[in-house]
Structure 1
């Protein structure tokens, strides 16, 4: 169990919807086999995997409240700040695209609230709700995205999915410090320095993960580094000085915005399951493993 057996208080599970859906799709597509479809030809491989991943997490976390957060796909404020943000991302696989809309219907039928915000990413919605709900319950964030480690707090645990169903690493402030010798805020500064190839922003050119980590551990933050530039080797100092504007922009892009325009309140997220509705939806998407949810 991720929660202690004697912990009977409220717990909120915030699900990074796209992270789960993409993970489920590529896990099922691994090996090049045919994509699972319904009798009507609708692809459902990602949806089936999503439901299995989520069912495993629900059994371990036992949430009283449940929310699934999604990207909307339009331009975000980060892309407005930096034109090339995520500009290297390939198009989604053709047989995954029809599952984007269907999975939200599935989630809703399971009594789970879908949440998104125009101009913001799912991470921002998660960060906003995590901060808001932490006063009412312990918050668990289910994702495969290590960027979300920056919101870890005493009342917010980030549950990182590992290879295989039901395999997780739960990050608390203590475990993050034990594993990486870093605080949540330092996750942001690391990315500001080294950039992010997945999100397509460079940080300081010529500064990789090893150098960035060394700098953060020694000077604690980007501000600490900038206050001690004269102490750095000449070449490294030159790289940072040459990319100061990009360093600051990269830190901004890396920061999860925890004041996104999401109006959801805690009481709205109470998880109430209508088993008949779940069974009907499982039949619609031909999910034969529904015993995970209704058994």
Structure 2
């Protein structure tokens, strides 16, 4: 539990895609997919709601925004055509739930934000950068890439396996557990690449070597300034993949300048109980209304 200081606003930025995918796979691994009596798949939305209210109960935000990807094509695909090309298509049962979950979120009174050409990560990065000036910001996600967004006012809440199982990263926790600063998270991925996002970094350099380089030289620039001091094998790998090193860093860097605006007054957490209950009833989620009492 994080205690709110001096009645300061606490903004919860929800990585909607992370919650939705997590909920889908957590509730479908047995082969059973929850559906309405009309046959509409709802298991991911159902699980999303449970995760959502659990986070509210745990962190008591005053404001909430939910951020979403808006299609598969972004500026990163334009920079590197193979970006995320290894991803399989979303399961058929999940497809109708992408729009449905946003409907449910809106009915609960929560602002949905996404921007074509950018990822949800970039929207979260931009909003956290803007809103931290006067508020505490918590980013709810399962994505460790978000650790680069940590500041004195921004913490990243990583969802671990199971419900109510979180790890909260601030500047001190990040350094204590990973020996990294937020900016070094980006440089680490630039060296080692990202198999999930399908960019290689420097071929032949894995996490162990990348961490050693960053620990010793602090940054990519520090390493490049000391190329002659590196072991010959490491130096040759970097020199042979210099362009991809810089491209990988650009792909890894979450943007803080997405052209989106959000005033605090527009994202106050005030559950629209009647509208949410009506939507839950429509989706045959009647049993979830009990979660309203924790909000």
TM-score of the superposed pair, with normalisation by structure 2: 0.97
Equivalent in 259, 262, 266 of residue 261 of structure 1: 259
Which residue of 2 is the match for residue 47 of structure 1? 45
Please list, as runs of the form range in 1=range in 2, the aligned pairs for 1:80-159 lying within 5 A after superposition. 80-159=78-157
Q: Decide whether the 8 Å contact of 1:65 with 1:269 is kept in 2.
A: yes
CA distance in structure 1 between the aligned counterparts of 2:39 and 2:220, rounded to whole angstroms = 52
Q: Decide whether the 8 Å contact of 2:84 with 2:197 is kept in 1.
A: yes
CA offsets 1:89-127 (integer angstroms, 9 cap, x no match):
000000000100000000000100000011100000000
Which residue of 1 is the match for residue 8 of structure 2? 9
Number of paired residues?
Answer: 293
Aligned-pair distance for 1:7? Answer: 5.2
Please list, as runs of the form range in 1=range in 2, the aligned pairs for 1:220-235 lying within 5 A after superposition. 220-235=218-233
CA offsets 1:242-279 (integer angstroms, 9 cap, x no match):
00000000000000000001122222111222211111
CA offsets 1:118-163 (integer angstroms, 9 cap, x no match):
1100000000000100012100000000000000011000000011
Aligned-pair distance for 1:292? Answer: 1.0
Equivalent in 246, 249, 254 of residue 248 of structure 1: 246
- Structure 1 stretches of 4+ with a deviation exceeding 2 A read 5-8
Deviates further, 106-115 or 282-291: 282-291
CA distance in structure 2 between the aligned counterparts of 1:251 and 1:6, rounded to whole angstroms = 35
Aligned-pair distance for 1:226? Answer: 0.5
| Correspondence 1:293 to 2:292 | yes
Secondary structure, counterpart of 1:43 in structure 2: coil
Q: Please report the RMSD computed on the Cα atoms of aligned residues, expressed in angstroms.
A: 1.1
Deviates further, 274-283 or 6-15: 6-15
CA distance in structure 1 between the aligned counterparts of 2:60 and 2:293, rounded to whole angstroms = 15
CA distance in structure 2 between the aligned counterparts of 1:163 and 1:74, rounded to whole angstroms = 26
Deviates further, 72-81 or 123-132: 72-81
Uncovered stretches (5+) of structure 2, i.e. residues with no partner: none
CA distance in structure 2 between the aligned counterparts of 1:64 and 1:182, rounded to whole angstroms = 30
Which residue of 2 is the match for residue 56 of structure 1? 54
CA distance in structure 2 between the aligned counterparts of 1:128 and 1:6, rounded to whole angstroms = 24
Q: Decide whether the 8 Å contact of 2:184 with 2:218 is kept in 1.
A: yes
CA distance in structure 1 between the aligned counterparts of 2:130 and 2:104, rounded to whole angstroms = 26
CA distance in structure 1 between the aligned counterparts of 2:245 and 2:194, rounded to whole angstroms = 12
Aligned-pair distance for 1:293? Answer: 1.9
CA distance in structure 2 between the aligned counterparts of 1:58 and 1:252, rounded to whole angstroms = 33
Q: Decide whether the 8 Å contact of 2:4 with 2:10 is kept in 1.
A: no
CA distance in structure 1 between the aligned counterparts of 2:108 and 2:7, rounded to whole angstroms = 22
Secondary structure, counterpart of 1:289 in structure 2: helix
CA distance in structure 1 between the aligned counterparts of 2:5 and 2:85, rounded to whole angstroms = 47
CA distance in structure 2 between the aligned counterparts of 1:18 and 1:6, rounded to whole angstroms = 30
Which residue of 2 is the match for residue 21 of structure 1? 20
Uncovered stretches (5+) of structure 1, i.e. residues with no partner: none
Aligned-pair distance for 1:294? Answer: 4.2
Which residue of 1 is the match for residue 71 of structure 2? 73
